[in-house]
Amino acid sequence: MRALLLEGIHPDAVSRLKADSYDVEVLGRALDEQELIDRIAGVSLLGVRSKSQVTAKVLDAATDLVAVGAFCIGTDQIDLPHASANGVAVFNAPFSNTRSVVELALAEIIALTRRLTEKNAGMHNGVWDKAAEGSHEVRGRSLGIVGYGNIGTQLSVLAENLGMSVYFFDTADRLALGNARRCASLDELLAVSDVVTLHVDGRPSNSSFFGAEQFARMKPGSIFLNLSRGFVIDHAALRASLESGHLAGAAVDVFPAEPKGRGDEFVSELRGLPNVILTPHIGGSTEEAQADIGSFVANKLAQYASDGTSTLSVNLPAVALPQPPDTHRLVHLHRNTPGVLAQVNGILAEHGVNVEGQLLATKGELGYVLTDIGVNYSDEVLAQLRAMSQTVRLRVLS
Residues that are catalytic: 229, 258, 281
Containing 106, the helix (H) or strand (E) segment is helix 98-113
The number of helix segments (H) and strand segments (E) in the chain equals 13, 16
Could you give the CA distance from residue 81 to residue 18 in angstroms, rounded to a whole number? 29
Helices within 218-368 (DSSP H only): 235-243, 287-307, 340-350
Q: Are strands 391-397 and 328-335 parallel, antiparallel or unpaired?
A: antiparallel
CA distances 1 to 4, 173, 397, Å, are 10, 43, 14
Q: State the angle between helix axes of 11-19 and 287-307 in degrees (0 to 180), rounded to the nearest 10.
A: 20
| Residue of 318, 326, 323, 337 lying closest to 392 (CA atoms) | 337
Angle at 386 between CA 82 and CA 363, to 5 degrees: 45
Q: Count other Cβ atoms within 10 Å, centred on residue 41.
A: 12
Could you give the CA distance from residue 9 to residue 14 in angstroms, rounded to a whole number? 8
Q: What sign for the dihedral angle of Cα 189, 193, 197, 199?
A: negative
